[in-house]
């Protein structure tokens, strides 16, 4: 029994049920020495963490980890004060939250939050952009010394052109000597050489600038061809409580081996796979299995790394650690998945390369027939594909930027290309199509002696300040309906069963059917719950059943409209996968109008991946939407992986598309943006090809000189490039016309 005072109220007598077997003497986790609680009030606390002042990257990681907590409402970091302020739901237990925050303080030391992949290839990224300076200067000198008539020495301009053309020359030499083929770089370098030798510097200078701009944009939109190694377990548990010889000590996770005993406290993530030796605990397995509700695990049962200990106190016999755990095997399966990296920009480059030989043959034929190098150079300058190589990546980059303004992170041109072709979308259920947390759906009373409002008041009074998700849902539901919890004068919580409390002199039970049946209370006075209609907790007072509450994991408010938009307006086949029971999956699928034939339940992570692979084998281009560790194999095997900004770090890192606002409505917008970008690409190809084919005909007939050819060629490139920038002209957050026509329900809901 423990006497407590809260907010000046009366003493509350609290007792907590003991485990079936007396555990070894409890040793509480030692506080982190460099973490200090500055102050705390209901719903808000401030911690002082000296590392914040010294390490900005650590501060960012810590803020991201804490902000990802479901119960945290806001995080504010002050580096000068070395502190972090956290706003959270007042219904969350202070002790449980503190424990989770201290775990994040430890984890942030070795966790690199994924803000996006970085490409480590030479010449990609910032270095490529910096390399555009010399071509720009060269074009400026040629313009000053040519049309503007300034006295710029010709040797200076020629030297600048030669130096600026070196990257193109290196690529051309590599193509001829190593790849043994003629590509667009060889064609460009030949045209640059011929025009420069004739003393015409403006055309080659502008040409060099456009080519390098195109290369920079193309590389900017490319995704690295290798999938980075992801250390899931390293980001979750760096140290554990190890018990040896009756003593407990905190040790690094890499010092734990099979046969050891680890101790896990509330708020900790379980660091190993193993069997419970002593104690019982309520464990949230959502991120690993997709099961929405926490499950009770007792002595002799297995537990798994990466799952979260909600309540209880466990001694676990270690069986697997690191890569050998179930979570580790999921990571390996994800890493072994093929990387489908077919960039749309590469398609343009391949088409360009195919046009090189015909351009050389035509230019050579004109040179032989006319003995006029100017005509031959004009044909080479008006090649079809330099403009395509510039305008296609420009359209892709503009589409990526426009999507980012709407809170949709599309990681690469390859992702945009695949997204445009999606004809099957597979959703995980828990936390993706549903909220991922329990919500009370209905309150039933047994008779008129105690109406449903009184049943709810009794339950909320008994459940207040408990950290169980269902207890929090009951209290939240009561407050939403103006029912304030009363006073309880003694309570006892039994893990996995429910709570006993003394309320206004009555002994109240709130919990599972097992709890009430243990007390001999007859539940037959209530009709059985409907199949798939949710789960129940019961309320009894003084040995008599009063009523029950049904709770569910409700669909997101936008789920039904998004499913309708994808299937009806976009012509996309929609599937749902889950580890939940079949009746629960069917109930959710029916509520958001997913066909029963496309609803797949009771699946392990590996089986989710098999569903995705089966759809791909049937010729579908598959997008998978998920947020947890259990979704990783399916995310990896899909053509396009979609996740949320608030998902686990590893799911967010795996994803090709990240919905940063955690709103499914971003998915149809992303598909619309991708399809619009592909239409712009086709338009740009038409603009460049049509204009330059006409210019080639004129050049072959001798009616077009090198400078005019360069003007037409570069002009068409500029027009196509400007056309590709059209997505940037749309206001942020504005959907395309086709999108708004395709799913008015969503727009009305958003603005209604």
| CATH number assigned to the domain comprising residue 102 | 3.30.70.100
Helix 385-405 × helix 706-724 angle, to 10°: 20
Same domain, 214 and 357: yes
pLDDT at position 548, please?
93
Residue of 476, 502, 472, 500 whose CA lies nearest to 487: 502
pLDDT at position 12, please?
33
Same domain, 478 and 490: yes
Q: What token pair was written down for 749?
A: 């809901």
Separation of alpha carbons 487 and 187, rounded Å: 84
Residue 13 lies in a domain: no
Q: What token pair was written down for 58?
A: 């650590």
- Domain boundary, last residue among 660, 683, 701: 660
Separation of alpha carbons 192 and 64, rounded Å: 51
672 exposure class (CB count in 10 Å sphere: 0-12, 13-18, 19+)? buried
With the C-alpha atoms ordered 582, 585, 591, 594, is the resulting torsion angle positive or negative? negative
520-555 burial, b for 16+ CB within 10 Å, e for fewer? ebeeeeeeeeeebebbbbbbbbeeebbbbbbbbbbb
Separation of alpha carbons 53 and 80, rounded Å: 6
CATH, residue 536? 3.40.1110.10
Same domain, 545 and 443: yes
Helix 356-370 × helix 666-700 angle, to 10°: 20
CATH, residue 625? 3.40.50.1000
Residue 191 lies in a domain: yes
Give 438-466 pLDDT, tens digit per residue: 889 889 998 878 899 999 999 999 998 88
Residue 302 lies in a domain: yes
The answer to whether residues 537 and 512 touch, using CB atoms and an 8 Å cutoff, is: yes
Same domain, 688 and 700: yes
Range of the domain at 377: 126-224+341-400+673-744
- What stretches in the chain show pLDDT beneath 70? 1-34, 39, 68, 70, 80-81, 90-96, 107, 109-131, 214-238, 287-292, 330-355, 374, 381, 383-386, 530-533, 629, 648-651, 653, 705-707, 709-711, 714, 730-752
Residue 21 lies in a domain: no
Residue 28 lies in a domain: no
Same domain, 534 and 618: no
Residue 522 lies in a domain: yes
428 assigned to active site: yes
Helix 184-197 × helix 356-370 angle, to 10°: 30
Q: What token pair was written down for 340?
A: 């489908």
pLDDT at position 28, please?
34
Say which of 383, 428, 639, 656 is annotated catalytic: 428
**β-strand partners of 244:** 247
Separation of alpha carbons 212 and 298, rounded Å: 64
341 exposure class (CB count in 10 Å sphere: 0-12, 13-18, 19+)? middle
Same domain, 453 and 534: yes
Domain total of the chain: 5
Instruction: Please give the angle made by the CA atoms of 674, 680 and 682, to the nearest 5 degrees.
Output: 110
Consecutive H or E run containing 492: strand 491-494
- Domain boundary, last residue among 113, 144, 161: 113
Q: Hey, is 151 helix, strand or coil?
A: coil
Same domain, 198 and 157: yes
Same domain, 547 and 648: no
Consecutive H or E run containing 277: strand 273-278
Q: Hey, is 320 helix, strand or coil?
A: strand
Residue 190, CA distances (Å) to 129, 184, 204, 363 in order: 25, 10, 10, 11
pLDDT at position 114, please?
35
Separation of alpha carbons 658 and 667, rounded Å: 9
Residue 738: CA count within 13 A, CB half-sphere: 14
How many CB atoms within 10 Å of residue 66?
22
CATH, residue 287? 2.70.150.10
- Domain boundary, last residue among 282, 312, 336: 336
Separation of alpha carbons 550 and 529, rounded Å: 8
Residue 732 lies in a domain: yes
Residue whose tokens read 């957050």: 733
Residue 648 lies in a domain: yes
Same domain, 260 and 327: yes
Return all residues near 153 (Cβ < 8 A) that are at least 6 apart.
145
Same domain, 345 and 331: no
Same domain, 429 and 445: no
Residue of 291, 530, 551 whose CA lies nearest to 441: 551
Same domain, 211 and 146: yes
pLDDT at position 530, please?
67
């Amino acid at each position: 029994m423990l006497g407590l005072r809260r907010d000046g109220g009366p003493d509350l007598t609290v007792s907590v049920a003991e485990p079936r077997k007396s555990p070894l003497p409890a040793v509480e986790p030692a506080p982190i020495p460099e973490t200090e609680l500055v102050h705390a009030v209901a719903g808000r606390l401030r911690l002082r963490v000296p590392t914040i002042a010294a390490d900005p990257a650590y501060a960012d990681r810590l803020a991201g980890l804490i902000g990802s907590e479901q119960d945290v409402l806001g995080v504010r970091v002050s580096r000068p004060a070395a502190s972090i302020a956290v706003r959270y739901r007042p219904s969350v237990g202070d002790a449980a939250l503190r424990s989770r925050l201290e775990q994040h303080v430890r984890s942030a030391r070795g966790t690199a939050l994924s803000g996006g992949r970085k490409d480590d290839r030479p010449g990609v990224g910032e270095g490529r952009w910096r390399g555009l300076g010399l071509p720009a200067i060269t074009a400026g000198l040629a313009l000053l010394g040519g049309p503007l008539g300034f006295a710029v020495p010709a040797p200076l301009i020629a030297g600048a052109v030669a130096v600026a053309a070196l990257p193109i020359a290196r690529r051309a030499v590599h193509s001829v000597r190593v790849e043994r083929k003629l590509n667009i770089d060889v064609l460009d370098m030949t045209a640059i050489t011929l025009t420069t030798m004739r003393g015409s510097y403006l055309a080659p200078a502008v040409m060099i600038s456009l080519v390098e701009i195109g290369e920079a944009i193309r590389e900017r939109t490319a995704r690295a061809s290798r999938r980075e190694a992801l250390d899931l377990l390293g980001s979750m548990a760096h140290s554990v409580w190890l018990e040896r010889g009756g003593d407990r000590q905190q040790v690094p996770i890499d010092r734990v081996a099979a046969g050891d005993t680890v101790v896990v406290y509330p708020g900790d993530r379980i660091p190993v796979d193993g069997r419970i030796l002593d104690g019982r605990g309520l464990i949230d397995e959502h991120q690993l299995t997709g099961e929405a509700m926490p499950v009770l695990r007792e002595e002799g049962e297995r537990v798994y790394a990466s799952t979260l200990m909600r309540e209880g106190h466990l001694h676990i016999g270690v069986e697997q650690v690191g890569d050998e755990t179930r979570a580790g095997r999921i990571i390996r399966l994800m890493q072994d998945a093929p990387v489908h990296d077919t960039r749309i920009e590469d398609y343009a480059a391949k088409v360009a390369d195919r046009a090189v030989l015909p351009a050389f043959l035509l230019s050579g034929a004109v040179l032989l027939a006319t003995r006029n190098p100017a005509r031959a150079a004009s044909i080479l300058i008006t090649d079809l594909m330099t403009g395509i190589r510039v305008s296609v990546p420009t359209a892709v980059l503009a589409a990526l930027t426009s999507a980012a303004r709407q809170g949709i992170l599309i990681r690469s041109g390859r992702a945009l290309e695949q997204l445009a072709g999606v004809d099957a979308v597979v959703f995980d259920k828990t936390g993706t199509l549903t909220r991922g947390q329990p919500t009370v759906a209905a309150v039933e009373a047994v008779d008129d002696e105690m109406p449903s409002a009184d049943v709810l008041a009794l339950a909320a009074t008994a459940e207040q300040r408990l950290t169980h998700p269902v207890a929090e849902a009951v209290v939240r539901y009561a407050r939403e309906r103006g029912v304030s919890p009363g006073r309880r004068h003694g309570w006892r919580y039994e893990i996995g069963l429910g709570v006993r409390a003394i309320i206004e002199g009555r002994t109240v039970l709130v919990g599972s059917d097992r709890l009430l049946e243990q007390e001999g209370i007859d539940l037959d006075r209530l009709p059985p719950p409907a199949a798939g209609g949710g789960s129940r907790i019961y309320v009894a007072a003084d040995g008599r059943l009063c009523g029950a509450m049904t709770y569910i994991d409700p669909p997101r408010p936008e789920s039904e409209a998004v499913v309708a938009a994808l299937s009806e307006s976009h012509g996309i086949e929609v599937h749902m996968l889950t580890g939940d029971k079949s009746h629960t999956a069917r109930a959710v699928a029916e509520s958001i109008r997913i066909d029963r034939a496309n609803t797949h339940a009771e699946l392990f992570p590996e089986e989710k991946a098999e569903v995705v692979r089966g759809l791909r084998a049937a010729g579908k281009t598959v997008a998978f939407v998920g947020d947890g560790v259990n979704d990783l194999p399916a995310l990896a095997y899909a053509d396009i992986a979609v996740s949320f900004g608030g998902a686990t770090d590893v799911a967010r890192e795996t994803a090709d598309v990240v919905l940063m606002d955690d709103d499914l409505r971003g998915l149809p917008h992303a598909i619309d943006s991708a399809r619009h970008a592909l239409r712009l690409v086709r338009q740009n190809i038409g603009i460049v090809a049509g204009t330059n084919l006409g210019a080639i005909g004129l050049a072959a007939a001798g009616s077009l000189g090198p400078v005019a050819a360069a003007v037409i060629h570069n002009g068409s490139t500029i027009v196509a490039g400007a056309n590709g920038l059209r997505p940037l002209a749309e206001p942020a957050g504005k959907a395309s016309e086709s999108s708004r026509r395709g799913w008015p329900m969503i727009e009305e809901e958003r603005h209604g």
